[in-house]
Amino acid sequence: MILDFKGRHIISIKQFTKEELEYILKAANQMEKYYKTGSDLLKGKILATLFFEPSTRTRLSFTSAMYKLGGEVISLSNPEMSSIKKGENLTDTISVVQSYADVIVLRHELEGSAKLMSEVSQIPIINGGSGTKEHPTQAMLDLLTIKNEMNGKIDGLKIAICGDLKYGRTVKSLAYALSHYDVELYFVSPPSLRMRHEVISDLHSLNVKFKELNDLSEIIPELDILYVTRIQSERFPDPADYAKVKGSYRIDVSMLNRAKENLKILHPLPRVEEIDYEVDHTKYARYFQQAYYGVILRMALLALVLGGSF
């Protein structure tokens, strides 16, 4: 069955049904051939990347994705050098940029910014990460990684999501994405960084099986997927409090001695201290592979919202 995404905004993972997500993941895998050879699928189309917050992966992978499909990219990645400095608000910015491009990827610090811009813009807005709440394309590429790395299967997996669950936007989007599947989730964090009340409330309503834990080591032997996020030192005003917790969520080779053979470790990156560099060379580490999945996923999204046929 063909689903039509042409002209749609990609704002929140919550706006998609399971059927739509599976369709997007399938489209991403179909992009592999274009990833290798390039394509003219989106020739003549322009992507505007508007990043008001730092980004390496999201911005570059969208840029790469657009070029691989034959399109062009214009970008605003330094707001200090734009009319934002003169006090122009985001609504006016988008109202103008929509005349320069066919699709916009937006990252902004304010929560709900992508949602509001989808009500303003006449061209598709793709949320590249707003505030601390949403990162839908990251969740989709995380799903794609899990699916492809676990032989096409997500149902039945035991998945730990670990680290900063309160402020980390990737973990919330991922939890919602996984709510479509029959999985067991473990949210592992210091007590002060638990998953937000709104997300917990939604997961209860969706009858998702999950537990909240302080300690990762007790569940390592059971896990199929370990999704690690950075605990930011800046969230702890007292450095001593940070020092107490950061070690608890540091993944090293000795911790993995009790892990399942086919455990996969994911991380949205950037990684600081939470995964030891020696883990990178083990069979468990798939966080750099995630970067590749991110490109083909974003190629699929751009092709779908711009109506390219493939």
Partner 1 sequence: MQDNRKSPSSIEQSLRVRKIKNGTVIDHISPGNALNVLKIVGINGKEGMIISIAMNVPSSKGSTYKDVVKIENKELAPEEINRIALIAPNASINIIRDYEVIQKKKVVLEDQIKGVIKCMNPNCITNSNEPVKSFFKIETRDPVSLRCKYCDRIIEYNDIVKQF
Cβ atoms of 302 and 41 within 8 Å: the answer is no
Of 39 and 138, which has the nearer Cβ to partner 1? 138
Q: By CB under 8 A, tell whether 53 contacts partner 1.
A: no
Minimum Å gap between C-beta 235 and partner 1 is: 14
Among all residues, which ones are annotated catalytic? 57-58, 86, 107, 135
* Binding-residue pattern over the window 180 to 219 for partner 1, x denoting contact by CB under 8 A: -----------------xx--x------------------
Q: Which letter does DSSP use for residue 267 in this model?
A: -
CA nearest 263: which of 149, 148, 139? 149
* Binding-residue pattern over the window 93 to 112 for partner 1, x denoting contact by CB under 8 A: ----------------xxxx
Of 79 and 131, which has the nearer Cβ to partner 1? 131
Task: Identify the helix (H) or strand (E) that includes residue 213.
Answer: strand 209-213
Q: By CB under 8 A, tell whether 17 contacts partner 1.
A: no
Q: By CB under 8 A, tell whether 115 contacts partner 1.
A: yes
Of 88 and 252, which has the nearer Cβ to partner 1? 88
Q: How far apart are the C-alpha atoms of 38 and 16, rounded to whole Å? A: 28
Tell me how many degrees the CA angle 44-47-51 measures, rounded to the nearest 5. Answer: 165
Tell me how many degrees the CA angle 88-93-99 measures, rounded to the nearest 5. Answer: 145
Cβ atoms of 163 and 171 within 8 Å: the answer is yes
Residues that bind partner 1 (CB under 8 A): 89-91, 109-113, 115-116, 131-133, 197-198, 201
